[in-house]
Structure 1
Amino acid sequence: MIRSDLPFVSLAELPGGPEPLVLCATARLATGLRRAHGELQAARGAVTWQALQSSTPAMWLDHLSSSALLRGEIQPASVPGTFLSRAQERSLWEQAIARDTGAVAELFDREGMALAAMEAASLQRAWRIEVPEPLHTEEYRAFLRWRDAVAEACQAGSWRTADEVMAWRIECIARGIGGLPARLGIAGFIAPDPLVSRLLVVLEARGVELFRLDFGRGETMLAAGAELPDAEAECIAAANWARDRLARDASSRVRIAVADLPARRRLLESALENSLHPDAVGVGWAALERDFAFAAGSPLAAEPLVDVALRLLQLLVHSQRVAQTEFGALLCGPGWSADVDEADARASIEAVLRELLPPETSLERLVRAVLRQADALQASRLAADLGALLEAARRAPRRQLPSAWAAVFAALLDALGWPGQRTLLATERAAVDELREALGGLLALDGILGRVDGGEALRQLQRQCRDQAFAAARQTPARVEICSLADALAGPVDGLWVMGLNEGAWPPAPRPNPLLPAELQRRAGIAAARADSLAVEAQSLQALWCESAGEVVFSWAQREGERPLRASPLLAEIPRREWPSLPVMPFSPEPLERLDDAKAPPVGADERIRGGTALLAAQAVCPAWAFYQYRLGAAVLPAPTFGLDARARGSLLHAALEEFWRGRSLADLTRMDEVTRGAEIRRVVAHALAEFDRDAVEPLPPRLRQLEGERLQALLAVWLEVEAQRAPFRVVGCEERHALDIEGLPVRVTIDRIDELEDGRLVVIDYKSGRKVSADSWAEQRISEPQLPIYAALAFPGRAVAAVALARVTRDEPGFLGVAESDGLLPDVKALDAQRKRYAEDEFPDWQTLRRLWAERITDLAREVRDGIAAVVFDDEKNIQYCDVRPLLRVAERRQQFDETGEP
């Protein structure tokens, strides 16, 4: 503890006003002491009083030297140069690191390395650490190069770092500037600090009376310990404790300090919401000012509207590489363009883009794809804004000053309609204003960075937003403060709960700077490098916590996941108390109501039913599948893929076969010699690829087009050899559309191919390009592959159908799979009478009965859909392996229920 020899003076003894001055370790402590001093004055009956003058050393020295300049005690010519902010200094270090690492700079965490280097330079200067040559590691030699580069840049620009400025200001006091207080107190300084110690020595030499401020409550409170199952239980217990304290005394001030605040922030926020504002559920309560607040706020970059703005700017500066997931999130999110009026259209466009574009693409391709959909989906404002974004990306200069980039960024955000159409909450308005100020802050980097590209300017803005803590102004002070352990000493409160005090977290483990030898840091007395010093500091802090609160609770968790935890050894003497981890809620039993969800509403007269044969296939496998996916519209969004996915390759195959067979017969095929057939195959493949390119956002890359063309040519050559083995036929239909009405259910189908035999009978073919093809369900009561049975039984009521077959168009096992009225119509397709293992004779005695039963069974499925049959029923879980709505079927819960009841 700094200057433990100084006498104590209690906060109640200080009169307020300019004398005495109190220097505090943190700005939060300075604010807390001013508040506590004011409360003491009010408790004494004072109506007006002078506020306590409290500040951090850096802030006070800044004010003192500025006043001396105004009074003429410091001549402007004697000011050592331009004073750098921490952000400017950090940028200098980042530049030095980037230049030193060269081409591999992007492989390093420049921001993290710059912070470590800044700290190392500060420690080396303040603690006067000299590293002998034998201890020069590769890392230390790199640090020396960076340090020299920063020093050279500072000398060239007459810049001074924050540590140099503070040392100069202290020397100004030593040289005799005025404005010093007669008495000065210090508060909260636990760890040794050479600059603060030097300041106190200089002040004493100038005749300033020093003292330590006692801001406790006059007595040391006995703390209580709470051992709870895990971190979540700790958060719930602390939230309930705060609720109970406020219920007993509405004027209480409560503080919750957390050892690992970033990790527990969401848990604690949720627990406090449930305890302090249990009724504030839904967006209607978003504007309600909560009774709790996080002292340090949250990073500005984490605010939703700021995050949207930064991602929009990312599109501008990295327009050649845009992740579709990032762009899709922007489309589906609010905060820009017509986010309210065109929300549904934007969501639809995002779903379409997944099928049109690869996972990573360019802004130009994305905008082109959006423009193709915008008119049909009525998203004109989105189209205009994206056009403006693309034009801005094209016109943006390669390099310019950060301030010029700030102007470009601000203009673009305005052009894109940021922050959206909705009326903003007060917190959102404050975040928008903070981002605009951060954009203005790029001006300070002009002299440091010079001309940079847009990516570097945006990186600097993103870093500022990450580093800047954001907390919207409150109308009333929060009754519950949440802070880290470093900020827990922030003035007296009525109750203090400190959580996360497990072994390893409290006292904290030593963290010496990685760029300086750890042993030299320990010898110098740097507390962060010494376990014993950190333990002493932790004990001192615990004592101060107990003095500054009316009730103190220390808590720790028993486990983290499966790993058991132990309490900090510093809590060994703390008596334990039992704390309920869960709120006790009143419970009044209500009569249970049984709801059978196996029945959905019948299909209405105006209801649009989609899905075609896929709807009936899903109904056959599991009625709930058909209801969720095709009546409610639930579906899995397609995943973007590089190149061509299986669906696109299947479409190309269909297009090539359609072009080859339209208007042709088997005789046409057999008349072709090898050369003619090869030329025709190349022609139809080129036609299919051209059709694909015409509908695509942009043509296939040449190499991919060549490979796909070669694949299709080889595939068609193999397949036409299979077709050549057939009985004579002519093709009378390709990709033929039919609109059917099945039991009042409209079903639209597209038949891949219809062949006519010499006797006038039809053969219906459905192409399959996958290896897994099955017709097993055609003989079952519930037909789960209903396409061809529908075609045979219902699409041609007045025509004789001789065979239905799945054409397996593959290179390794090409062939037909199906059933025919007689043998010899298709290779490997046997007649009905030859397939009695599958089609039992007593059930399917002849071909006409087969077609009639198909019609009846498909009609039964359509009737189920129409009547709302939607039970979660399936024969085999493997049949729903590729079900898009599988999570809605609650298969895991169903399995668990069967395990518990013993049912199969």
Structure 2
Amino acid sequence: MMLRKDLRVVKLADLSADEGTLLLCHSARLATDLRRAHGALQAASGRPSWRALQSATMAMWLEHLCSGALLRGEIPPDSVPGVFLNKLQERSLWEQTILTDTKMSAVAAELFDTDGMAQVAMEAGNLSHVWRLTLPEAMQTEEWRAFERWQASVAAICEKNHWCTQTQALAWRIACISRGVTGLPTQIGIAGFMAPDPMLARLLVALETRGVRVFRLELGSAEAAQICRYEFADAQAECDAAARWAAKQLHDYICTSKNSRTPIRIRIAVADLPVRQRMLAAALDAALHPDWVGAAWAGHERDYQIIGTSVLADQPLVNVALSLLQLLVHPRRVAQADFGVLLCASGWSGDVSEADGRAQLEANLRERLSTVTTLDSIHAAVTRLHVELNIPRLFESLSAIVDATKQLRAQSKRQLPSAWAVHFVALLESVGWPGERPCIAAEQAACDALRESLTNLVTLDAMLGRVDSSVVLRHLQRQCRDQIFQAPRRVPAAVEVCSLTDAIAAPVDAMWVMGLIESAWPTVPRPNPLLPAEMQRRAGVNAARADSLASQAQAIQTLWRHGADEVVFSSATREGERELRASPLIATIKKTTLTRVVAVAETASKSDERLERFTDALAPAVTDAERVRGGTHLLQAQAICPAWGFYQYRLGSGVLPAPTDGLDAKARGALLHSALELFWRDRAQSDLLQMNAATRADEVSAAVENALVNYERHAIAVLPPRLRQLEHQRLVALLQTWLDLEAQRRPFRVLACEEKHNLNIEGLPVRVIIDRIDELDDGRLIIIDYKSGRKVSANTWSEPRISEPQLPIYAALAFPDRELAAVALARVTSDNPAFIGIAQAADLLPLVKALDDQRKHYPADEFADWNALRERWAERIKVVAAEVKDGCAAVVFDSDASV
């Protein structure tokens, strides 16, 4: 059912913008849009000047009208029903009421979505008041009874404190018109109201009673000359086509209207805009700005603008500020993942001058701290590392946060929201927010909006009283999540992307409405969950009635058909494995072939010719001044995939370690290496065999204890006692199991542990650390490399590209002049300890076969004898090292699993 069909209809072009005319619009955005469109029409008609159209929302105009009447003395101050609450205050009041009624503890309140329930309850209260809903006792549900309790409590609090809700304030202001306030316009038009609104109906009756002429503004014009419908395989194809279509519209306009003073306006309306926003933005970037590649273009205004989906909390600098305040309020529980994001974000402390050091710190903390840590632990880590990483400003900022938390703990834990706001502002200033570099316009607007939100916390003083900081921070975060943020622009965007609701606007040159599938258009009923759905349907609440929503959708679709010269409707046929059907409301529009869209794509692709394409398989050669790190791991990565070796060790890219609770695999492996080194240093097998069980147990325990002490000496904090005890027991058991295997070997003595060697392989400096070198009675050496994992293999030692090159490098290049008896990987595990490798002769190491017994892997024509084996290893390793030196970085690998 449409609103007031009896009202006379006026077109925007025929509307006179004199002092006696006012437009009441469904939204503030529509009011602004109509004001702009009216001005464009006046300019197009050749007028040199004109009066701007007066347009506003109903609430905005009534507030302005009554404020003026109060100043003129037409409304006695004592007749004002009380203090008018804003949305923030009213929602806070409902939230406090719900928490009191449910007797919820602070812990339970964190788990329960009180914000969401307060929003639903406030909306239910407004519906109940506006639609004058009543329910017989027999139909009352548990939700209704709970809502009635909350509503009665809110009403009692408001009456006691002389507060008025937003709906009550609106009703009182409408009543002021009936009581005779002056300053009414001669005629008032309504625009964009597509569904019945009882408050608007009461306002129109009051206006007409006072002699004001009321009309309805026709938003559209003549039906579009071209209306078509497309279907696409999926949402991605639909977004790509819409973006290319927009690019073609702009291209045609530039070619045909070079001297036009009226800019083109294109609108893309999206049914599920929050879901498709990123996809569509990427498609528009590719179509409209294909050569805008790199961070340097981030601050430039695009030819498109997405309307109404971005909230203040999502703006980078605001998000950083809220994260910093989270540290202040909750210093004893900090998720390392969240702190890592904050650490690498710009907008605070030395975000530009210390960016590299902060990134290195983030990688360090991942290895040193658990997944959930504390601010004090982070500060202790930074205290230890800030000189090495050259991050003095970050150290000062974190110290300021730590000092602020101590200061707040020393003060009263409960303060007024306005007092907490002062602390929040002081903290942000102390840590250098919003960063070192000057803000661009959009960033400055976001910062100003956050400062305004902080100032608005004073309005909660009367609602909340004295509360702790976490409550105030939660309200601030909610404000920022609820506030739509639109970045200011110097030049209006040619392409406007909006939701279907925001597409109820002034006419444009071309429009594409996408995502019109059966489940999205018309929208499905969403009655308020606290109120019985049947009661809402009987009362005529539009959001609860499928028939009303269908009629509204048809009316909006008719508006779209008259809203542009060219109108496109589209839908996707598939989402993943799910088949989709087009909305029945667009089924009557004949489907159009994709020929035109394909032609548009070909036109858009011509812009790609400006981009240079080249093959990047060859990187710059390693110079004498370049220091390439990685050691044997560099040669391992190069052998597996040259590109990966280049990315990881010359460019420094790689997967950051994942934070873990307790000790991660790397730390456990390091402890095992340390314990084995401490046990075997300056010892021989004979020393092991001479120990009785008690002595051996004491020696093993001492080695493990010393390893743990050495680990804790370099750690941020000591291990928790229980975890330390468990790790001690694990290592003792592991060493005892391994020593049983060592006792079965031929006699040997340990010549060296963790021995460092600096090699030069084909001009490439390689630094290696050999886990252990044993010497047999005959003087030959056995080189051992510890492995703590279960997957240990030496299978690639016979291949042209050795992907496990540590021991071949040691055997062929670290000791070229020494006699070697064997090289082996030592799999030190509790369930299946073993030596894995190759020996010159049999029985040198348990289960390690001689070269002659492994001819399946080491054919005689390539590996004739032991010396030939070492020579082949040297040759093949030098080939890989030469690749690194020459800059070989091709993407070549044997299998996906190896990369």
Give TM-score, length-normalised by structure 2: 0.90
Contact 1:182 1:209 in 2 (8 A): yes
2:550 counterpart letter in structure 1: A
Cα deviation per residue 1:285-307 (whole Å; 9 max; x = unaligned)? 44544444344362122222222
Task: Provide the rounded CA distance (Å) in 1 between the counterparts of 2:620 and 2:883.
Answer: 11
C-alpha distance in structure 1 between counterparts of 2:855 and 2:526, whole Å: 79
Relative to structure 1, the CA distance from residue 157 to residue 238 in structure 2 (aligned partners, 3 Å threshold; closer, same or farther) is: farther
Which residue among 224, 229, 233 is the counterpart of 1:226? 229
Deviation digits for residues 356-375 of structure 1, max 9, x if unmatched?
Answer: 22222222212222332221
Which one is further off, 651-660 or 297-306? 297-306
Distance in 2 between residues matched to 1:339 and 1:533, nearest whole Å: 53
CA distance in 1 between counterparts of 2:675 and 2:815 reads 26
Q: Which amino acid aligns with 1:584?
A: E
Q: Secondary structure at the match of 1:571?
A: coil
Alignment equivalent of 2:149, drawn from 141, 145, 152: 145
Correspondence list, 1:229-240, <5 A: 229=232, 230=234, 231-233=238-240, 235-236=242-243, 238-240=245-247
Offset at residue 609 of structure 1 (A): 3.0
Q: Kindly indicate whether the alpha-carbon contact (under 8 Å) linking 2:12 and 2:218 is maintained by their aligned counterparts in 1.
A: yes
Cα distance in 2 for partners of 1:2, 1:119 equals 22
Aligned to 1:5: 6
Q: How does 1:557-596 map to 2 (within 5 A)?
A: 557-574=572-589, 577=592, 579-580=596-597, 582-585=600-603
For structure 1, which segment, 540-549 or 51-60, has the greater mean C-alpha deviation from structure 2 after superposition? Answer: 540-549
Deviations 1:238-295 (A, max 9, x none): 5246425643444144443333332333344444445555555544444544444344
> Which residue matches 1:120?
124
1:405 deviates by 2.0
CA change 1:882–1:406 in 2 (3 A) is: farther
- 2:452 matched residue in structure 1: 437
Question: Which residue number corresponds to residue 410 of structure 1?
Answer: 425
Query: For the structure 1 residues 691 and 447, does the alpha-carbon distance in structure 2 shift closer, same or farther, using more than 3 Å as the test?
Result: same
Q: 1:390 is matched with which residue?
A: 402
The match for 2:268 among 249, 256, 268 is 256
| 1:522 correspondence with 2:537 | yes
Q: Give me the whole-angstrom Cα distance separating, in 1, the residues matched to 2:898 and 2:653.
A: 14
Q: Match for 2:246: what amino acid?
A: A
Q: Structure 1 counterpart of 2:341, which letter?
A: A
Is the Cα contact below 8 Å between 2:246 and 2:495 reproduced in 1? no
Shift of 1:126: 1.5
Equivalent-residue separation in structure 2 for 1:330 and 1:417 (angstroms): 14
When structure 1 is superposed on structure 2, of 795-804 and 83-92 the one drifting more is 795-804
Question: 1:390-443 CA deviation, whole Å, 9 max, x = no partner?
Answer: 222332343322222222222222222222222221222122111111111111
- CA, structure 1 residues 93+770, in 2 after alignment: closer, same or farther (shift >3 Å)? same
Name 1:510's counterpart in structure 2.
Answer: 525
Structure-to-structure mapping, 1:326-337, within 5 angstroms: 326-337=338-349
Which stretch of the first structure deviates more once superposed, 527-536 or 796-805? 796-805
Q: Structure 1 pair 43/774, CA: closer, same or farther in 2 (3 Å)? A: closer
1:644 equivalent in alignment to 2:666: no
| 1:76 alignment counterpart | 77
Deviation at 1:14, TM superposition (A): 4.5
8 Å contact from structure 1 (residues 316, 389) kept in 2: yes
For the residue of structure 1 that corresponds to 2:385, the secondary structure is helix
Encode CA deviations 1:803-848: one digit per residue, 9 max, x unaligned: 3333332222223334444555444445555555555566656544
Residue identity matched to 2:671: L
What corresponds to 1:773 in structure 2? 792
Change (3 A) 1:544 1:709: same
- The one-character-per-residue Cα deviations of 1:838-880 (angstroms, maximum 9, x if unpaired) are 5556665654454445444444444444445555555x52xx6
1:667 aligns with 2:679: no
Letter in 2 for 1:366: I
> In structure 2, do the counterparts of structure 1 residues 606 and 120 end up closer, same or farther at CA, with 3 Å as the change threshold?
same
Q: In the superposition, relative to structure 1, how do residues 760 and 138 fare at CA in structure 2: closer, same or farther (>3 Å)?
A: same
1:701 aligns with 2:717: no
Residue 62 of structure 2 corresponds to which residue in structure 1?
61
Determine which of 481, 497, 501 is the counterpart of 1:486. 501
SS in 1 for 2:64: helix
Q: How far off is 1:652 after superposition?
A: 0.9
Please name the residue that 2:777 is paired with.
758
Aligned counterparts of 1:394 and 1:687: Cα–Cα separation in 2:
36
Cα displacement string for residues 777-828 of structure 1 (whole angstroms, at most 9, x for unaligned residues): 4455544433333333433345443333333322222233344445554444
Q: Is the 8 A contact 1:790 1:855 kept in 2?
A: yes
Aligned with 1:17: secondary structure? Answer: coil
Between stretches 132-141 and 409-418, larger displacement belongs to 132-141
Q: What is the CA distance between 1:27 and its match in structure 2?
A: 2.4
**8 Å contact 2:345–2:351 — kept in the other structure?**
yes
Q: Which runs of 5+ in 1 are unaligned?
A: 884-904
- After superposition, where does 1:258-337 map in structure 2 within 5 Å? 258-277=270-289, 280-296=292-308, 298-337=310-349
Query: What residue in structure 2 maps to residue 902 of structure 1?
Result: none
**CA separation in 2, counterparts of 1:360 and 1:673?**
44
Classify the secondary structure of the residue corresponding to 1:714.
Answer: helix
Name which of 718, 722, 742 aligns with 2:737.
718
Please give the residue correspondences for 1:734-753 in structure 2 after superposition, counting only pairs within 5 Å. Answer: 734-753=753-772
Partner of residue 896, structure 1: none
- Structure 2 counterpart SS, 1:881: helix
Establish whether residue 162 from structure 1 lines up as the match of residue 166 from structure 2.
Answer: yes
Secondary structure at the residue paired with 1:469? Answer: coil
Superposed CA offset, 1:114-165 (max 9, x none):
2221111111111121122232223223322322332233233221100011
Report matched runs for 1:336-355 at 5 Å.
336-355=348-367
Relative to structure 1, is the Cα distance of residues 677 and 193 closer, same or farther in structure 2, using a 3 angstrom cutoff?
same
5+ residue gaps, structure 2, are none
Once structures 1 and 2 are overlaid, which stretch shifts more, 832-841 or 200-209? 832-841
Residue 689 of structure 1, aligned match among 708, 714, 733:
708
Relative to structure 2, which stretch is displaced further, 419-428 or 388-397?
Answer: 388-397
Query: Which stretch shows the higher mean deviation, 42-51 or 368-377?
Result: 42-51
Alpha-carbon spacing, 1:434–1:828, altered in 2? closer, same or farther (3 Å):
same
Alpha-carbon distance in 1 for matches of 2:253, 2:206: 46
Q: CA deviation at 1:201?
A: 1.9
Work out the CA distance in 2 between the residues paired with 1:826 and 1:314. Answer: 58
Residue 804 of structure 2 corresponds to 785
SS at match of 1:50: coil
Please state if 1:243 is matched with 2:246. no
Q: Is the 8 A contact 1:234 1:557 kept in 2?
A: no
Q: CA deviation at 1:511?
A: 1.6
Per-residue deviation, 1:561:
4.2
Q: Normalising by structure 1, report the TM-score.
A: 0.90
In structure 2, relative to structure 1, the CA distance for the partners of 1:806 and 1:179 (3 Å cut) is: closer
Q: Judge conservation of contact 1:492–1:549 (CA < 8 Å) in 2.
A: yes
Is the alpha carbon distance of 1:836 and 1:314 closer, same or farther for their aligned partners in structure 2, counting shifts above 3 Å?
A: same
Query: Is 1:463 the equivalent of 2:478?
Result: yes
Count residues in correspondence. Answer: 878
CA distance in 2 between counterparts of 1:637 and 1:799 reads: 39
**Contact 2:219–2:559 (CA under 8 A) maintained in structure 1:** no
Structure 1 residues 446-455 or 625-634, which shifts more? Answer: 625-634
Say if 1:257 and 1:485, in contact at 8 Å, map to a contact too.
Answer: yes
SS of equivalent to 1:813: coil
Q: Distance in 1 between matches of 2:875 and 2:47?
A: 93
The change in CA–CA distance for 1:659 and 1:167 in structure 2 (over 3 A counts) is same
Which residue of the partner structure matches residue 105 of structure 1? 109
Any conservation in 2 of the 1:223–1:554 contact (CA below 8 Å)?
no
Q: Which moved more, 1:531-540 or 1:294-303?
A: 294-303
5 Å matches for 1:593-632? Answer: 601-632=620-651
Q: Check conservation: 2:219, 2:505, Cα contact below 8 A.
A: no
For 2:655 and 2:136, the matched residues in 1 are separated by: 63
Superposed CA offset, 1:521-571 (max 9, x none): 111111211122222222333334444545444444444445444433333
Shift of 1:324: 1.9
Distance 1:234 1:568, change over 3 A: farther
Question: Partners in 2 of 1:446 and 1:753 — Cα distance?
Answer: 69
- CA positional deviation for 1:237: 5.3
